[in-house]
A and B are shown apart, each in its own frame.
Chain A
Amino acid sequence: QSALTQPRSVSGSPGQSVTISCTGTSSDVGGYNYVSWYQQHPGKAPKLMIYDVSKRPSGVPDRFSGSKSGNTASLTISGLQAEDEADYYCCSYAGSYVVFGGGTKLTVL
């Protein structure tokens, strides 16, 4: 199976909004409402930010939101803050296994 497709990098200034896309197929992203997003700072374990396409775990700021249209899921971060600078990975259920995206580096300018 192939990794989900994410842009290698995105950037934005503090206070702005950025959106990270995650494109799969009808066998993964498009076939299930089970997309999750993870934030990873250098040298740290990933942290769950969004699950089931658009749900936020407790403790995750509401600046983080998720959506999906067809085979593409998106993570939007509004009101960018310096601490949001990190790598972001999407992840989708694919029937009997799980597939990650290649990751997107978010730079806060």
Chain B
Amino acid sequence: QVQLQESGPGLVKPSQTLSLTCTVSGGSISSGSYYWSWIRQPAGKGLEWIGRIYTSGSTNYNPSLKSRVTISVDTSKNQFSLKLSSVTAADTAVYYCATDSSGYRLRYWGQGTLVTVSS
């Protein structure tokens, strides 16, 4: 069974770039056909889909975040990553990575990591 673990800085300064990594265990990120996704959740609020990358390398992003988001895969490390540029306090949230073989559901989730944007 696939297991996911987010990692990265817990504190990012305004205007900087937020960078997170999701390490995949229990399977190879380059085998099979999977969608590797990022979702975030501000404290006390709902889930927001950020975007995803398919095994082939194709990406889809939330239109409201598209100009600031990049999702990529590092097959040598069995990881995929999120970069969100020009962050503000509104980007403070718990960030989750998730995956599934179908692009229409999210079966496997990481535990989430809190990122705070503050000077």
Q: Give the interface of A toward B (CB within 8 A).
A: 1, 3, 32, 34, 36, 38, 40, 45-48, 51-52, 57, 89, 91, 93, 96-103
Q: Would you call B46 and A98 a contact (CB within 8 A)?
A: no
Interface residue count on the B side (C-beta < 8 Å): 25
Q: Inside 8 A of A40's CB, which chain B residues have their CB?
A: 47
21 contacts between A and B (CB under 8 A): A1-B63, A36-B105, A36-B106, A38-B106, A40-B47, A45-B96, A45-B111, A45-B112, A46-B47, A47-B109, A57-B107, A91-B106, A97-B60, A97-B61, A97-B62, A97-B63, A98-B49, A100-B39, A100-B47, A101-B46, A102-B46
Q: Would you call A89 and B61 a contact (CB within 8 A)?
A: no
- The verdict on B102 contacting chain A, using a C-beta distance below 8 Å, is yes
Q: Inside 8 A of A89's CB, which chain B residues have their CB?
A: 46-47
Most buried by B among A52, A57, A100, A101: A100
Q: Separation in Å of the B32 CB from the closest CB of chain A?
A: 18
Segment 21-65 of B: residues with Cβ below 8 Å from A = 37, 39, 45-49, 51-52, 60-64
A20 to B46, CA, bound (A): 15
- The verdict on B9 contacting chain A, using a C-beta distance below 8 Å, is no
Q: Would you call A52 and B105 a contact (CB within 8 A)?
A: yes
A101 to B104, CA, bound (A): 15
- The verdict on B110 contacting chain A, using a C-beta distance below 8 Å, is yes
A1 to B105, CA, bound (A): 19
Assuming the contacts A45-B96, A52-B105, A89-B46, asked whether A1 and B112 have C-beta atoms less than 8 A apart, the reply is no
Assuming the contacts A97-B62, A97-B63, asked whether A3 and B46 have C-beta atoms less than 8 A apart, the reply is yes
Closest 10 CB pairs of A and B: A34-B104, A51-B105, A45-B109, A103-B46, A98-B49, A100-B47, A36-B105, A102-B46, A48-B107, A93-B104
A51 to B105, CA, bound (A): 6
- The verdict on B103 contacting chain A, using a C-beta distance below 8 Å, is yes
Assuming the contacts A3-B46, A38-B47, A103-B47, asked whether A51 and B111 have C-beta atoms less than 8 A apart, the reply is no
Most buried by A among B61, B62, B96: B62
